[in-house]
Every structure is written in structure tokens, then in C-alpha cells.
Amino acid sequence: MNDTSELVPPKWPLKAFYGMTIISFPLYFLVFICLLRLRCVSKAYNTTFYSILLQHCIADLLTMFLFFFTNSVRTVPGIREFYFYYQSYYLAASSYNHIYYFLYIRCTGIVFLSLQRYLVITCPNSYVTQKVQQASKLQIILVYWIVPTLISIVVLTDTNFQYDKLETMAIIAEQSVIKRNTLMALIVVGLTCVCCSLAYGALFYYIRKHTAGLSKSLRREVHLAFQVFVLLLAFFAILAYYAFQNYFSQFSNTGQIFYMRALYPVANGLLSYINPYCILILNRELARQVFRCVTCHKYKVSEQSPVQVSGIASHSTKQQNSVSSRKDGSRKKENSTCLVFQMSNSSSPPSDLVPQKWPMRVFYVMSIVSLPLYFMVFGCLLRLRCVSRSYNTTFYSILLQHCIVDLIAMSFSILNATSKNIPVIREFIFEYQDYYLAAGSYNSVYYFLYIRCTGIVFLSLQRYLIITSPTSLLTQKIQFASKLQIISVYWSVPTLLSLVVLKDTNFEYDSLERMSIITDQEIIQRNTLMALIVVSLTCVLCSSAYGALFYYIRKHTAGLSRSLRREVHLAFQVFVLLLAFFVILVYYAFQNYFSQTHNTGPIFYMRALYPIANGLLSYINPFCILFLNKDLARQVIRTVTCHKYKVSEAQISAIASTSTKHHSFHRKVVHMGTNRTIELDRKESNQVMF
């Protein structure tokens, strides 16, 4: 157990929250007032979408106000005495309960917004959509607030809270209440992310299928859906926050629990303060009205034409769009070919779009810092496999192959980018481009992506099997597989998956000066969609594995032996690595969205961002190893300091025992108000302080 004096929480999260509040709260309030005024003068802002969005803004502002009022203000001497002496009048309880109540309100709010976007775009003439769009303001308000209130009754009925003393004002609660509420929050946020992801997945499929038939009004609806989708990303951050919090609580890791508690203001602020920026950046019509309000100009209600109303949009296909697409189909250069990383469907030539240079510079900086570190970790792991059986297990064999792929992918990307700037090499590549040089430059992007996707799936499934069913026949087969078998499976599966990509050879460079790759537009669209599907399946499979693993850990926490706890720590290392794949998933989702709406500028910008996304996918691995794998990190440090390996320090990732270990019970008390953690006696083991 850590000494309480050592558990001093970081102060920067609260300072960051105050900095966010100073900048974002006035801006949010300005957007909110502007939206209220617009609803008084324009029918365009009295639709169901804007009614739900208005309630979401109210929930965000109330959340930030109450958090400040119940936590920060109670440190003021006069108010502190009032809070302490009248704490039984639901003051202490509200300081804790409102956190979960407003979290559930915002979760149901983002679900309502996502479902409304799905219905109004995919089935605008259905009975359900008609009912939703024609709902009165009172009905919308009642549904928006009653549903999360019913969910929160379990939380709101808890009143057994009290402040420990006047000086510290830390809230004391039953430990069972804390665990139940934390688990419930994780479940609610998880269901929110799943429901919204399904809605946007179906919506994205619909957009791809009916791109040519989207009218101008429906395209505006799609842009509003994109605004809500970016807002949804903050809920994935909250999901990761509660997942980490629950993970650390299962292993009684006091320091990490304490640190996560301190990070709550930043997570809470992100969930609320992202909304005004989504509105101002992604909702041009409303942003224009806010700007007119700031500059003291009258609203131009005439700008809000009926087709801009977020309502039941028409499905009519515009004849002009179909005629223009047929005309484009008759021209080979505009329809059958496009520039990779410079794809454009507009009439303006690609030369007008100058690509951003800063992403490539950022990638080079990442490579200068991370690539030598990665090679050092890789070399250390190779040497350890020569002297210790601990690092010759299936897990480390798969991890080694994953490191090899990362290093090859990054080295190839750097060589491919820099070689084209050297005149002699550029001329050689251009002259012999028919010998799979141009094709290899393009196909390698997807090939190495699929290898890393299958690699993270193998690592996740191996972690799941070794922890949940270490004695099963399948686990035995995997754990005793030879190195040759592991290498063969690791490389053959993604290679078979990539045959669709690797067989394409119809690539060529446009000119010696530019060295931009030209290929069929159908190939670009097919490969981009396939990449999105593969990365999506990777995230779904790994998330399912970790969801089942997390459930198993919660159910068998008391029975986890020391060896199994090491396996769980290795699983956490792979889980953090998995988060980079969610970034790639978002990248390809945006890329496909912009391509479907023929938005040339964002498409071009997303292509330029690829080096950063690719670098993040590879360069996160050595840092995961060094920060989350203490045994291997210790060996790396010994290598750097020119010391011999201590093989006895290495822990074997093998089939662990499930024997139950009995530990003496300790109670952990976490102070949110006073920022400290205390270990109490057995007789008080049913209470936790926040």
C-alpha cells in the first residue's frame, strides 16, 4: 500500500479545466443565446434536430455550472460552512450524484441526435420519422429529460453521503455504491457508443449506396449528421476513461486510481466544451448567424431557405447531377483515373490544390524520435529471446512479428518519400515503374495496414484465451505452437486478405517532376472501402475480446493468481495499442465520408494527413512496451546502461494458473475534494471517500 503522503494528485487537470472553462464557457453561452434568438425569428431553427440540440446545450451548461458550484465554490470559507452544516439536505449527495445524472442525460441526448439523423436521411417518409419530425417542443423536452432521469433513479435515490470534516470537505460514500455507479456508468457509455456507432454505420452504408441520388437538402442533413458524429467522439474518450478507471480499481492500483480521479475534470470538460466548436466549425449556417450576432448585425432570416430546414428531406434525384455524371463518364481522364493522395472530382485541376507540408514534417519528427527507440526495443527483444525462455512464448513471438511489420512499414514509407526527391533515384523509379515500382508504392499502404490489423487481432485473442481459458485445448495448441507456425500464420493470413490489393498493377506516375500515381478511380474507391471494413472488423473483434475479458476479470478478481495478473498487465499493453486503430478507423471514416460528398478540399487534406496516422499506428508500440511492460522495459534500460540481462527478472507469458490467492483485505479511500488516499481498518471497509 502506498503511503498517503506520497499520493499527491496532479494539479494540472483542474488548472486545465479552469483554462478550458474561461475560454469555452462564454463561447458556449454565446452560441446558446444565439440559437435561442434564432428560434424566435426563424422556422429553420425550430425543427426537431435543433430542439434536441438546444436541450443538449442546456445539459452541458448546467453540468459545467453545477460542477463548478458544488466542487470549486465549496472551498470558499463562508459557503463551506453552509455546505457542511446543511449537508443532510441533499447537498453532499448532490455533489456526487449530479456527475452521473448529467452524464446519462448527455448519453441519451447524443443517442437521440444520432437516431434522428439516421431516420431523417435514410427513411424521411416513414411513419416513425413523421412522428419524430412533427413532435411538439413540449414532447421533445419531456422525452429528452424523462428518459435519463428514469435511468438515473438508481443513482439519485442514494442519500447516504456525508462530508468527513469541515477542513477537507471530502465526501464519504459506501464502497458498494461507488463500485455500482462506476460500473453502471461504463455500461451506459458503452451502450451509447454502440448504438450511435450502429446508426452511423448504417447511415454511412446508405450514403455510399445512394450518393448519386442525394438531393441538396439531404446533403445538408448529412453535414448536420457529421457535426453530431464529431461530437460523438468525445463519448469514446469518456468510455476509455471509465474503462481505465474500472481496470485499475479491479487490481487495487491506488496510484493509478488516484490519477484517474484527478483527470475527471478534463474528461468532463471535453465532453461538454467540444459542442460549441462542432457547431461553429461544422455548421456554417449557424456559425454565420453567431458571427452576425457578435458583430452586432441583424439576423438574415432570408438566408434560411426552406430547404435548409432540418426536416423531412426529399429523396428526389437531381437530373443535373445524373447528366453531369454521365458526361464525366465519357471522359477517361476525369472518370477512370485520379491522383492517389490528390484525388479530386471537381472541375478544378489538382494542381490548384497544394498539399499541406506540415504533416510530412511531423512524420519526420516522429520518425527521428521514435524509430531509433523502436529499433533499440526490437534489438533488445531479439537478444532476450536468445538468452531467456521467458521471451520465447507465443505472445512475444507475435509481438516480435508486429514489431517487424511496424519497422518495415515505417522504413518503406521514409524511403519511398525521400527517394523521390533524389534526382537519380527518381529517374530510375520513373523509367522502371512498370516493374511493380509504381504499384508497390501504392499497394504497400494497404498491405502493411492489413498485416497490422490481423496482428492486433492475434494479440488480443491470445490475451483473451490465456486469461479466461488457460487449460483449454485451443489455448494449449496456441501456446505450444512453434515459431515457424506462428510466423507462417501471422504473414499468410493478411497476405491472402491483401491479394485483392496486390494483384492490381494498373498504376503509373504522371510525370517525372511530380511523381504522382495515377490509377483507376474504381480501384481507389474499392481499396478505401475495403480498408474501412477491415479496420472496423479489427476494432469490433478486439473490442469484443476485451469486453469479454473485462467481464471475466470483474467476475474473478479475487481468484486471479500473481501469474494471471501479469497476463492481464500484458493485455492492457495490447489494449492501449488497440486505441491507435480506432484513430485509423476515424481517419478512413472521414476519408470515405468526404469522398461520398465530393468535398475535394477535405479529401485532399485527409490524404495529406496519412503519414501522421500511419506513424501513430506504428510508433505507439515501443512506448506501450516501455511504459506498460515493466519487465521488458527494465531489460531495455539495462541494455542502454551496458549492464548484463537479469534473466531471473523476466516473467513468463505462458499458461498461468488460476489458483485463488487470499489476501488480507484493505480499504482504499479516495478523496476528490482533498486529493488524498487513505488506507483504513477492516471495520470501516464498507466506505470510500471522494
| Average pLDDT score, the chain | 79
Most confident of 146-150, 164-168, 310-314, 355-359: 146-150
The predicted pLDDT at position 91 comes to 81
> Which amino acid would we find at residue 560?
L
* Claim to verify: residue 379 and residue 294 sit in the same structural domain: no
Distances (CA, A) of 357 to 18, 340, 367, 414: 34, 16, 16, 15
Task: Tell me which DSSP letter residue 3 carries.
Answer: -
Please, what sign has the CA dihedral across residues 645, 646, 647, 651? negative
Lowest-confidence pick of 9-23, 213-227, 424-438, 589-603: 589-603
Buried/exposed code over 613-652 (b: 16+ C-beta within 10 A; e: otherwise): bbbbbbbbbbebbbebbebbeebbeebeeeeebeeeebbb
* Interstrand relation of 337-339 and 517-520 (parallel, antiparallel or unpaired): antiparallel
Ranges 62-66, 184-188, 466-470: which has the least confidence: 62-66
Asked if 278 contacts 31 with a C-beta cutoff of 8 angstroms, the reply is no
CA–CA separation, 381 vs 385, rounded Å?
A: 6
Neighbours of 558 (CB within 10 A): 9
The top-scoring range by mean pLDDT among 133-142, 152-161, 333-342, 413-422 is 133-142
Q: What is the pLDDT of residue 637?
A: 86
Residues 6+ apart with CB under 8 A from 229: 114, 200
One domain, residues 297 and 396: no
Describe the strand order of the beta sheet including 508-509 as a list of residue ranges. 337-339, 517-520, 508-509
Per-residue pLDDT of 446-460, as tens digits, reads 999 999 999 999 999
**Among the listed residues 673, 670, 491, 479, the one whose alpha carbon sits nearest the alpha carbon of residue 567:** 479
DSSP designation for 688: E
In a domain, 336, yes or no: no
Same domain, 616 and 511: yes
Give the residue ranges of DSSP H helices in 420-437: 423-431
Q: Are 679 and 661 in contact (CB under 8 A)?
A: no
Closest CA to 313 of 135, 124, 132, 130: 124
- Contact between 57 and 275 (Cβ < 8 Å): yes
In a domain, 202, yes or no: yes
In our burial notation (b when 16+ CB lie closer than 10 A, e otherwise), range 384-399 reads: bbeebebbbbbbbbbb
Q: Are 667 and 681 in contact (CB under 8 A)?
A: yes
* Mean pLDDT (whole number) for 523-537: 87
**Residue 321: inside a domain:** no
Helix ranges (DSSP H) in 295-436: 319-329, 332-335, 358-387, 394-419, 423-431
Residues 372 and 228 in one domain: no
262: cell is: 484527478
Residue 377: inside a domain: yes
- Per the DSSP assignment, residues forming a β-bridge with 174 are 687
Mean pLDDT of 136-140: 93
Give the per-residue pLDDT at 390: 86
Among 182-196, 208-222, 408-422, 672-686, the range scoring the smallest mean pLDDT is 672-686
- Both 453 and 584 in a single domain? yes
65 closest CA partner among 101, 21, 110: 21
Query: CA separation (Å) from 376 to 394, 580, 607?
Result: 21, 22, 31
Cell of 599: 468535398
3-state helix, strand and coil shares in percent for the chain, rounded to the nearest 5:
75, 5, 20
Question: What's 112's domain CATH number?
Answer: 1.20.1070.10
Q: What percent of the chain has a predicted confidence (pLDDT) above 70?
A: 79
Q: What integer pLDDT is reported at residue 252 of this predicted model?
A: 61
CA atoms within 13 A on the CB side of 351: 5
**Are 617 and 585 a contacting pair, CB within 8 Å?**
no
Q: Check: CB of residue 64 under 8 Å from CB of residue 99.
A: no
Residue 3, exposed/middle/buried by CB under 10 A (0-12, 13-18, 19+)? exposed
480 in the same domain as 571: yes
**Which runs of consecutive H residues, i.e. helices, occur in 210-331?**
216-250, 254-262, 264-282, 284-294, 319-329
- Provide the number of structural domains found in the chain: 2
- Other CB atoms within a 10 A radius of the CB of residue 187 amount to 11
234 within 8 A of 189, measured Cβ to Cβ: no
- Which pLDDT tens digit goes with each residue over 42-85? 888 999 999 999 999 999 999 888 887 766 666 677 777 887 88
Residue 657 has pLDDT above 70, yes or no: no
Cβ atoms 109, 96 nearer than 8 A: no
Residue 690 lies in a domain: no
Residue 89 in grid coordinates? 439536505
Sign of CA dihedral 413, 414, 420, 421: positive
pLDDT at 6: 46
Whether pLDDT at 486 is above 60? yes
Determine what percent of the chain is predicted with pLDDT higher than 90. Answer: 29
Q: Is residue 343 part of a domain?
A: no
Are 109 and 196 in a shared domain?
A: yes
**552-580 confidence digits (pLDDT tens):** 887 887 777 788 888 888 998 999 899 89
123 or 77, higher pLDDT = 123
Amino acid 422: pLDDT: 85
SS3 317: coil
Nearest-Å Rg of the Cα atoms of the chain is 28
Ranges of beta strands (E only) in 363-475 are: none
pLDDT surpasses 50 at 649: no
Q: Convert the pLDDT of each residue in 585-641 to its tens digit.
A: 888 887 777 766 666 666 667 777 888 888 999 999 999 998 888 888 888 888 788
Domain match, 223 and 362 both: no
In terms of Cα–Cα distance, which of 271, 219, 264, 343 is closest to 60? 271
473 falls within a domain: yes
Shared domain for 360 and 286, answered yes or no, is no
Classified as helix, coil or strand, 420 is: coil
Any idea what the Cα angle at residue 424 is, between residues 423 and 430, rounded to 5°? 85
Question: For residue 312, what are the CA distances in angstroms to 128, 138, 500, 523, 593?
Answer: 11, 20, 40, 35, 21
User: For every residue of 11-29, which 3-state class applies, written as one string?
Assistant: CHHHHHHHHHHHHHHHHHH
Going by C-alpha positions, the residue among 505, 354, 365 that lies closest to residue 441 is 505
The 10s digit of each residue's pLDDT in 261-303 is 778 888 888 898 999 999 988 888 888 888 887 877 776 654 4
DSSP 47: S
Report if pTM > 0.75. no
End-to-end CA distance of the chain: 18
Looking at the predicted structure, is the pLDDT value of residue 671 above 60?
no
Do 291 and 407 fall within a single domain? no
Structural domain containing residue 512 = 350-649
Whether 77 and 187 share a structural domain: yes
Name the DSSP class of 391: G
Q: Give the tens place of pLDDT for each residue, 88-97.
A: 888 888 888 8
> What's the confidence (pLDDT) of residue 373?
92
Distance CA 690, CA 687 (A): 10
The torsion angles phi and psi of 36, rounded to 5 degrees, stand at -60, -45
Does some domain include residue 265? no
Same domain, yes or no, for 489 and 604? Answer: yes
pLDDT class of 401 with cuts at 50, 70, 90:
very high
Residue type at position 36: L
